[in-house]
Structure 1
């Protein structure tokens, strides 16, 4: 699934519901919300699991943050606390939390103390994730990086996907 398509989910939900209000989504019956997410074209490759996760996220945002996503990072004393808050949210594992911290730091100037440490490699200058996309050109750079990583059998963090297997070597073009 192309990256651009993956990020149309919120737009599609808004178009179907007429809003993207976490409080209103949390108040909906989960099965009704999942059915809306599953209509063609679906919001995700796996619409039932993603629809359920989005609903759970809206419930968590409503219960813990007044229904406002920005309250997750508002007034955090440091990036460690921010990371802890993110990791408690449905669907936020370690890597997604790191990418989200990098996205807010690089693109929106939300930089709690220590943000680069908690964003890990996603805070560097290598265009490797959505945190680095701000134009058609940077989208192509991220795509190129991902293709190179697949060819090397590495993940977005430059780690071998299968440490028990030898890493493929690709000759680098000299400039």
Structure 2
């Protein structure tokens, strides 16, 4: 799966995201209530703390939950909410073990359509419709995973040439564009509230 990814804005973390399907999934899972770069640096931090150069779904699913939460909470914490996010990562990995033999790429490898891939992503623990659509757009735009209808299934996030989400980040400039888009969207939402 080797791809040039610049989501974490840190070479080692981005290199892991570019070659590890599980790291990419975990980064997407962590992408909430923290800056995007921190979320996508998380998989690298976890791998380092486990003494590995990659993540393994079987190992994470079987890890002692208290010890895994402590690993997340170690300074600097992997996430703003280390305990709950450690639990979610373990749940995600258990789902991958139970349904995909621990192979994260199997989630998308043989998906015949974008709609089927969206359904598979949406079924993962911690992935709602929006997160599933964003990850589907990320797969299509940066990982060359493009089943028929992937752009339509990704909704607005699948649009070409937009700066809506992490799917559109290819470096510092596009990160700024996505941040600007999100800030403008928040302002619009505030104005729309009575």
TM normalised by structure 2 equals 0.77
Give SS of 2:105's match. helix
Paired residue total: 158
CA distance in 1, matches of 2:92, 2:35: 23
Q: Which of the residues 52, 67, 84 maps onto 2:102?
A: 67
For residue 182 of structure 2, what is the aligned residue in structure 1?
A: 146
The C-alpha deviation readout for 1:95-117, integer Å capped at 9, x for no partner, is: 00000000001111111111111
Larger Cα-atom Rg: 1
Task: Kindly report the root-mean-square deviation, in angstroms, between the aligned alpha carbons of the 2 structures.
Answer: 1.5
Q: Which of the residues 135, 160, 165 maps onto 1:129?
A: 165
Q: Does 1:30 align with 2:65?
A: yes
* Offset at residue 161 of structure 1 (A): 6.8
Give SS of 1:102's match. helix
CA distance in 2, matches of 1:132, 1:28: 33
Which has the larger share of helix?
2
TM normalised by structure 1 equals 0.85
Moved over 3 A (4+): none
Q: Does 1:83 align with 2:128?
A: no
* Relative contact order higher in (CA < 8 Å, ≥ 6 apart): 2
Map of 1:1-175 to 2, 5 A cutoff?
1-19=34-52, 20-124=55-159, 125-153=161-189, 162=193, 165=194
Unaligned runs of 5+ in 1: 155-159, 166-175
* Offset at residue 2 of structure 1 (A): 2.5
CA distance in 2, matches of 1:146, 1:81: 28
The C-alpha deviation readout for 1:82-139, integer Å capped at 9, x for no partner, is: 1121111110100000000000011111111111111000011320100000111111
